[in-house]
């Protein structure tokens, strides 16, 4: 279904623009939340350069619980307000960390991770979780990544009914 070779020579911006269009295509008509989040992480992982982990944490019983992801096994639960993910959920703002070792309270789920971007998932002013993306490179993420990944979360939000998620 997907031929990633066509993206080989594209800039990251071009990949992001295509990713946004493809996200709409893979989410359209599918109502299962886990299916949509799984396909979303697979697409983001495939089209975002130099990342080591990409996944969702969903709020359940007042904490972030690991959801669909691409990468090595990860921390399964994160308290709201703790680490980069918990802080992004609490503050309802995207957090871009150039060097995770300088982020006070960083939770090292993967010792090789050096930079991170976390986008909160907010719908009708309620936080449902976060999209977390890590890289082994220092200062991997920039404003362009923030803009496009926030757009990706907006698209995902338009297709996902967070009240239907089940564990």
* Superfamily designation of domain 10-164: GAF domain (3.30.450.40)
Output the CA torsion sign for 154, 56, 162, 43. positive
Q: Whole-prediction pTM value?
A: 0.94
Average pLDDT along the chain, 167 residues, taken 10 residues at a time: 82 96 96 96 96 97 97 96 97 97 84 94 96 98 98 97 79
Question: How many whole angstroms separate alpha carbon 38 and alpha carbon 125?
Answer: 24
């Amino acid at each position: 279904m997907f031929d990633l070779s066509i993206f080989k020579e594209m800039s990251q911006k071009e990949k992001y623009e295509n990713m946004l269009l493809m996200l709409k295509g893979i989410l359209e008509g599918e109502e299962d939340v886990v299916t949509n989040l799984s396909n979303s992480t697979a697409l983001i992982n495939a089209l975002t350069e130099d990342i080591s982990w990409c996944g969702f944490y969903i709020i359940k019983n007042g904490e972030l619980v690991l959801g669909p992801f691409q990468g090595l096994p990860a921390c399964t639960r994160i308290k709201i307000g703790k680490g980069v993910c918990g802080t992004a959920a609490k503050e309802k703002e995207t957090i871009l960390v150039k060097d995770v070792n300088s982020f006070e309270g960083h939770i090292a789920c993967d010792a090789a991770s050096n930079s991170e971007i976390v986008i909160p998932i907010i719908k009708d002013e309620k936080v449902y979780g976060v999209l977390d993306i890590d890289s082994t490179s220092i200062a991997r993420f920039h404003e362009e990544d923030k803009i496009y990944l926030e757009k990706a979360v907006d698209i995902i939000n338009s297709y996902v009914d967070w009240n239907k998620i089940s564990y």
